[in-house]
A and B are shown apart, each in its own frame.
Chain A
Amino acid sequence: MAVPLWLRAAAVIATLVAMLPLFYLIIRMAQFPLPDFLDTVFSARSARLAYTSLTLTGTVTVLCLILGVGLAFLVTRTQLPGRLILGVAAALPLAVPSYVAAFGWQSMNALINPGTSFEGFLAAAIVITSVTYPYIYLPVVAALVSVDPAQEEAARALGRGPVDTFFSVTVRQAAPAITAGTLLCAIYVIADFGAVSILRVDTFTRAVFTSFSMGFDRLGGVALSSVLLVFTLCLLILEGRVRRTGTRYSTMSGEGRARPARFSMGRFTLPIMALAWAPVLIALAVPLSALLVWSVRGVSRPGSLGEIGSALLNSLWAAGLAALATTAIAIPLALWLARRPSRLARLLERTAYLAHSLPGVVIGLSVVMLGIAVLPALYQTMWMLTLAYCALMLPLALGPVLASALSAPPELEEAAQSLGSSPGAGYLRVTLPLMLPGILSGALLVLLTTIKELPATLMLRPTGFDTLATRLWTYTGGESYAAAAPFAAMLVLVAAVPAWMMISRLLKEVR
């Protein structure tokens, strides 16, 4: 059925506004003289940055792949004692933002080896791996769980052994999830700003931020941003291709399904358990114990509680605005995509995903330039900050809102019209109430993710406006670990909510 014109117009306008930072970045790229631009892109410094960024991304991705797939296999396909507890514990690092983990490891080092410094490439690789591998682990667990055991049984009945079956049937079916998870992981690593900055590794994101904070070198910032844009685009295109060709064959779901075969580890049970638990425990225990120790010292400082309270309120205020604005943009776009998506609607959706995958520093830089050049009245106000959040967070709201719009059958809208409601009234009276759960969870996801956001917040916050994330950043920069720790602890608590939502959904399936 047709989508009303006003709804399509609302979707186009709202999405274009949200994508303004992305477009403006591209406009600015085109404005620099080409030779200057190319000189900056292909400079020796740029090459050094590219080398560091790519080797870091490569190292972390390989480590995450080993950890993520290995743990997913152990949790879903073995009889390892306590595999459910391992299954939950392995997903928990998702609740630790990368810069909080970096702070945790660094402050732990300050406790154990005072006077030495914990920084550099290796430190960054360990810290980022410890919080990024769940991006591979979780989809692979989901894929392994959803492989129909009937197909494995068929392979067994055709004379294949258990190991042969696993590699020829099970892994094949999990392959799209593994590849997609790996690319997602690479996108996150390349976009990471907080951890590499705290651990002083010179990557593109750090260099873009430096170009902004040190005298605002526009050409340098935009040129380096364009390289990041290209890297991200390549990864996104690859990911899109994997998702298209990666057909899942699972046929049945829910009840009536046989349980998958689970391997016994025999006499290797104990060594394998040790091997599995070690990285998970390290990834959780190091930052969390450091947070605990330093937080106790931190909250005893005079005035600290008031500071924490006001930062929390500011975080909630900024993130609340972001959640409201982003969800409002997502609703018309989702309705359009769910009903009769035109090519334009698909293009808008893809643009939103591109902006979401871009590093926060890139979007931040673009909004800063936009504010200075075009909207000086709004620069350093909540408006510009909210705009950057919308550009970064739109897909987070769009996902659940679209899913709920898709599950609201269009026949119901037709039924409403046959009962005398205009198409618009039908949306309001029937579709919107049915979408409410999706809208709420989309808004919640944006709220919680925005609270964790660091680089765009640093670049765009109004003067004197401090959130949990910016306070942690400032104190960590001055190595005031005690003062920083309570903010880090609050951020972990906030991030734990969406992480727990993902994990609990998964747990229902693994059982």
Chain B
Amino acid sequence: MNATDNDTTMLQVSGIEVRFGDQRVLHDIDLKVRAGTTTAIVGPSGSGKTSLLRVIAGFLVPEHGEVRLHGEDVTSVAAHRRSIGLVAQDGALFPHLDVAGNIAFGLPRGTSRRERHRRVTELLELVSLTADQASRRPDQLSGGQRQRVALARALARQPEMILLDEPFSALDAGLRESTRQAIRDILRITGTTTILVTHDQDEALSFADQVAVLKDGRLRQIGAPEEVYTRPCDVETAQFLGDAVLLPGALTSQLPGQLTGKAGAVWDSTTPLGSVNVELVCPNLATAHLTVSGAAGQVMLRPEQITLSDQGVAGTVLSSQYFGHDTTALVQLEGVEAPLRLRQLNAVPLAAGTQVHLAVQGSGVFYPAFSDCRACSARPVPVSIETRGATPMPSFL
């Protein structure tokens, strides 16, 4: 680690392991959060994300590993001495105190009344609440207001960083969007280092500068939102972060000099949609002996990468669903068992039975059929063409 790295790293978590009895909840977690940025930890329920948050907050002491805040080891420092703010799912406002009392709760003991009042007013303004709401009780506030008060309360003692534990999941859809936007703006304005824990991949991708995908207690991938979405390191991650089209494919030849990103060697591959450029995302796979010409596996594309064109592979539309902002269609290809899904913006629905030609935009990601990669625990996945969302997989851990 060099000097400049030291300056900008707010939080460094390394080698964290947590067990509840026989069950390993977190395994070998490494995560680095730079000052002033927002990191989303995203994972399905039961993936261990709340445990990781509690380790960072100081409510859970890990069996192994360390938590460093500003380079200082705080692994065994009690929660109240860490200067890490926490906003819980429902806000966890104190019901016996009014809004002002809640916001001022964390101010140091000796704070004068004037100073208290000034800080409370300032914070109320920051979270767009009016001064007359200061005397309200938590149960007189709406869900979105409660979350904003909880944020103001956490910001009041000017913590090094703030943890948000599924803060929007208790809100209904309309309120969730606006509250998320408001809180994101506040965190940007104040330059607060933030970790958001969520099970909602859209929320993670839209809210954060860095997304960390957690599954079965392991961090599968860490990267910028567009990085993890377009180049997920394994099939499960691909499916968790959005709709994925998986095609059987085989590598043909490596394209020289086209190394992109950290790992990505680019190859040409053959798929039922013709020749597709694919990246090998996982560094371990890129160097493994399996990645040779002719190696078989799966090619992952996002549905919006498959477009209708005048020429290309022919298929028949089986059905089509119209969502207003976009349209999805299931298309049956010659010689491929399962139909594949494609998504088009601003398109009219296609009638069943229509003959179409398909082309691929951009490059896909290649996963070898039987990888033996322990490092990121990518597992052989049965080849299936069309899947959606996070399919429950048997756990071998």
Binding site for B on A (CB under 8 A): 1, 409, 411-412, 414-423, 425-426, 429-430, 433-434
Taking a contact as CB atoms under 8 Å apart, the answer to whether B105 and A411 are in contact is no
Taking a contact as CB atoms under 8 Å apart, the answer to whether A414 and B59 are in contact is yes
Taking a contact as CB atoms under 8 Å apart, the answer to whether B94 and A422 are in contact is no
Asked, given contacts A1-B59, A411-B88, whether A418 binds B96 with beta carbons under 8 Å apart, the answer is: no
Lowest 9 A-B CB distances belong to which pairs? A419-B106, A418-B86, A415-B92, A417-B79, A417-B80, A411-B92, A433-B96, A420-B106, A420-B80
Q: How far is the CA of A409 from the CA of B138 in the complex (A)?
A: 14
Is B95 interfacial (CB-CB < 8 Å)? yes
Q: How far is the CA of A423 from the CA of B58 in the complex (A)?
A: 12
Is B78 interfacial (CB-CB < 8 Å)? yes
Q: What band does the interface of chain B fall in when counting residues whose beta carbon is under 8 Å from A?
A: 20 to 34
Taking a contact as CB atoms under 8 Å apart, the answer to whether A417 and B105 are in contact is no
Q: How far is the CA of A282 from the CA of B163 in the complex (A)?
A: 66
Asked, given contacts A411-B92, A434-B95, whether A418 binds B105 with beta carbons under 8 Å apart, the answer is: no
Contact with A409, one of B79, B92, B153 (Cβ below 8 angstroms): B92
Number of A-B contacts (CB under 8 A): 64
Q: In residues 90-122 of chain B, which contact A (Cβ within 8 Å)?
A: 90, 92-96, 105-106, 108
**A150 CB to closest chain B CB, in angstroms?**
28
Chain A residues with CB under 8 Å of B84's CB are: 418
Binding site for A on B (CB under 8 A): 57-59, 78-81, 83-86, 88, 90, 92-96, 105-106, 108, 153-154, 156-157, 163
Q: How far is the CA of A421 from the CA of B85 in the complex (A)?
A: 12
Q: How far is the CA of A425 from the CA of B109 in the complex (A)?
A: 12
Asked, given contacts A419-B105, A419-B157, whether A414 binds B79 with beta carbons under 8 Å apart, the answer is: yes
Taking a contact as CB atoms under 8 Å apart, the answer to whether A418 and B78 are in contact is no
Chain B residues with CB under 8 Å of A433's CB are: 96
Q: How far is the CA of A433 from the CA of B95 in the complex (A)?
A: 10
By beta carbon, the residue of chain B nearest A414 is: B59
**A470 CB to closest chain B CB, in angstroms?**
42
Taking a contact as CB atoms under 8 Å apart, the answer to whether B80 and A412 are in contact is no
Q: How far is the CA of A171 from the CA of B80 in the complex (A)?
A: 52
Contact with B78, one of A415, A422, A429 (Cβ below 8 angstroms): A422
Q: How far is the CA of A409 from the CA of B59 in the complex (A)?
A: 15
Chain B residues with CB under 8 Å of A423's CB are: 78, 80
Taking a contact as CB atoms under 8 Å apart, the answer to whether B80 and A421 are in contact is yes
Contact with B96, one of A417, A421, A434 (Cβ below 8 angstroms): A434
Q: How far is the CA of A289 from the CA of B105 in the complex (A)?
A: 58
Contact with A419, one of B59, B154, B163 (Cβ below 8 angstroms): B154
Q: How far is the CA of A417 from the CA of B85 in the complex (A)?
A: 9
Chain B residues with CB under 8 Å of A411's CB are: 88, 90, 92
**A420 CB to closest chain B CB, in angstroms?**
5
Q: How far is the CA of A434 from the CA of B57 in the complex (A)?
A: 24
Taking a contact as CB atoms under 8 Å apart, the answer to whether A412 and B94 are in contact is yes
Q: Would you give 24 A-B contacts (Cβ < 8 Å), ordered by A?
A: A1-B59, A409-B92, A411-B90, A414-B59, A414-B88, A414-B92, A415-B88, A416-B80, A417-B79, A417-B80, A418-B57, A418-B80, A418-B84, A418-B154, A419-B80, A419-B105, A419-B154, A420-B80, A420-B81, A421-B105, A421-B106, A422-B80, A425-B80, A430-B94
Q: How far is the CA of A416 from the CA of B85 in the complex (A)?
A: 10
Q: How far is the CA of A430 from the CA of B97 in the complex (A)?
A: 9
Chain A residues with CB under 8 Å of B108's CB are: 420
Chain A residues with CB under 8 Å of B90's CB are: 411
Q: How far is the CA of A418 from the CA of B105 in the complex (A)?
A: 11
Q: How far is the CA of A1 from the CA of B86 in the complex (A)?
A: 15
Q: Which of B58, B59, B81, B83 has the most CB of A within 10 A?
A: B59
Chain B residues with CB under 8 Å of A425's CB are: 80
Chain B residues with CB under 8 Å of A418's CB are: 57, 79-80, 84-86, 154, 163
**B107 CB to closest chain A CB, in angstroms?**
9
Asked, given contacts A419-B105, A420-B106, A420-B157, whether A414 binds B86 with beta carbons under 8 Å apart, the answer is: yes
Chain A residues with CB under 8 Å of B88's CB are: 411, 414-415
